[in-house]
Structure 1
Amino acid sequence: MKNLSIALNAVLIVAVGILYIFHFSGKEESKMVTATAGEGAVVYINTDSLLSNYNFSLELNEKFLKKQEDSKTDFNFKAQKLQKEANDFQRKLQNNGFLTRARAEEAQQKLIAKQQNLQQLNRQLTDQLMGEQNANNKRLFDSVTNYLKIFNAGHKYSLILSTTKGGNVLLSQDGLDITKEIIDGLNGRYKGESK
């Protein structure tokens, strides 16, 4: 979810830069942005609130956390099993339980191979979870931006910014924070899609 916040803040910086250029370029076609939330206004959305109240985001996060926990449980089970095998090997080695030194070395090589396989599995699971998290972030970002295009067709805001708690917007006039309106609209749309 932090990746979405970073991406939205990057879009914010680019948008502010473009607005700055148009506003101060002195061209006739640049319009003065109004200070109230009406046509041509600059408004913002708190992405922390959006992510914690948008049902689609909550559902994606819940599914991801369950998958992450299942992967962790499965990996821990395999790691414990390997640790038990290593302990058994050590005990057998200390008690001279191997007929020959070659058999002890063979058993040790098998344990090393299993440990390497477990490390490889850990990397694969981590990569898989990161890929899924990135895909979820993209789906969420696409969902929000597609809705904002529809939403803004009726409102005609010049710029819709994103911020986070302690982010770029520290104070604004009343009416410029459209977070609740966007969350309500997204959840209404999501409820209609999930039926």
Structure 2
Amino acid sequence: MIQEYQKSNFKNRSKKALVLIALSISIVACNKPAEAVKEVKTAYVDTSELMKEYTEAKDLESKYKSKSEEKGKQLEAEINRFKQEAANFQAQAQANGQAWAQQKGAELQKREQQLGYAQQALSQELQAESGKEMDSLVSGVKKFIKAYGKEKGYAYIYGTGDAASILYAEDKFDITKEIIKALNDKYKAPAKTEEKAAVKK
């Protein structure tokens, strides 16, 4: 009988002990200092500003501006010749008669159409070329930001600008300048390596 009493008493005490241990664990967990809770590190990048200030994007824009001017020179010369002929057409039509005016007018109309098609074709060609390079550049920037985020311990890096995905954020979370500097440093780095190699030769 005494043994049974001791067993039940032991069981009750061990149950109480377990309850006390559980309570003390939950109290300790609730009283954890704020510093112990890991802060989620977030930031955002103004993509419009990034593309304006990123040297490679500026170089790409400059490259296609030059290409457009270069390829457009010949076409521009033809357009100017056409404008001159069209301007002289009125005076010549009176001197050469109606039959000549009709024939010449049809020729000028056809040439105007051809020049329009040529302008359109040139514009589409340059857009397709620059579009491919710009897609590649944007893809590279995304990969860079992803790697940068991992290295710096960010949980999230959002994008604002033309394709805004944030409606409000405090300025302290803006890392646009950091990203621009890091991207520009990375873009300049191969050029410096090439310069060193040239000096060694």
Q: Who is 2:68 aligned against?
A: 68
Cα gap change, 1:114/1:173 in structure 2, threshold over 3 Å: closer, same or farther? closer
Secondary structure at the counterpart of residue 127 of structure 2:
helix
Report if aligned partners of 2:45, 2:159 keep a CA contact under 8 Å in 1: yes
Q: Who is 1:188 aligned against?
A: 185
Q: Who is 1:88 aligned against?
A: 88
TM (norm. structure 2) is 0.64
Report if aligned partners of 2:149, 2:156 keep a CA contact under 8 Å in 1: no
Q: Who is 1:160 aligned against?
A: 157
Cα shift at 1:161: 0.9
Q: Who is 1:172 aligned against?
A: 170
Q: Who is 2:19 aligned against?
A: none
Question: Which letter does structure 2 place at the counterpart of 1:111?
Answer: L
Q: List per-residue Cα deviations over 1:26-85 (Å, max 9, x = no partner).
A: xxxxxxxxxxxx974221111232122211011111112223344555444322210111
Taking the aligned partners of 2:107 and 2:139, their CA distance within structure 1 comes to 48
Cα shift at 1:133: 3.8
Secondary structure at the counterpart of residue 154 of structure 2:
coil
Secondary structure at the counterpart of residue 44 of structure 1:
strand
Gaps of 5+ in 2: 1-37, 195-201
Alignment of 1:137-152 (within 5 A): 137-152=134-149
Taking the aligned partners of 2:74 and 2:175, their CA distance within structure 1 comes to 43
Cα gap change, 1:188/1:66 in structure 2, threshold over 3 Å: closer, same or farther? same
Question: Which letter does structure 1 place at the counterpart of 2:42?
Answer: V
Taking the aligned partners of 2:80 and 2:171, their CA distance within structure 1 comes to 57
TM (norm. structure 1) is 0.66
Asked if 1:107 is matched to 2:104, the reply is yes
Secondary structure at the counterpart of residue 43 of structure 1:
strand
Taking the aligned partners of 1:104 and 1:53, their CA distance within structure 2 comes to 55
- Higher mean Cα deviation, 53-62 or 70-79? 70-79
Report if aligned partners of 2:45, 2:158 keep a CA contact under 8 Å in 1: yes
Report if aligned partners of 2:44, 2:159 keep a CA contact under 8 Å in 1: yes
Report if aligned partners of 1:39, 1:157 keep a CA contact under 8 Å in 2: no
Q: Who is 2:117 aligned against?
A: 120
Gaps of 5+ in 1: 1-37
Taking the aligned partners of 1:106 and 1:87, their CA distance within structure 2 comes to 16
Report if aligned partners of 2:40, 2:154 keep a CA contact under 8 Å in 1: yes
Q: Who is 2:77 aligned against?
A: 77
Percent of aligned pairs with the same amino acid: 25
Q: How many residues align?
A: 153
Taking the aligned partners of 1:170 and 1:75, their CA distance within structure 2 comes to 48
Secondary structure at the counterpart of residue 170 of structure 2:
coil
Q: Who is 2:127 aligned against?
A: 130
Question: Which letter does structure 1 place at the counterpart of 2:90?
Answer: Q
Report if aligned partners of 1:40, 1:156 keep a CA contact under 8 Å in 2: no
Taking the aligned partners of 2:67 and 2:171, their CA distance within structure 1 comes to 42
Bigger radius of gyration among the two: 2
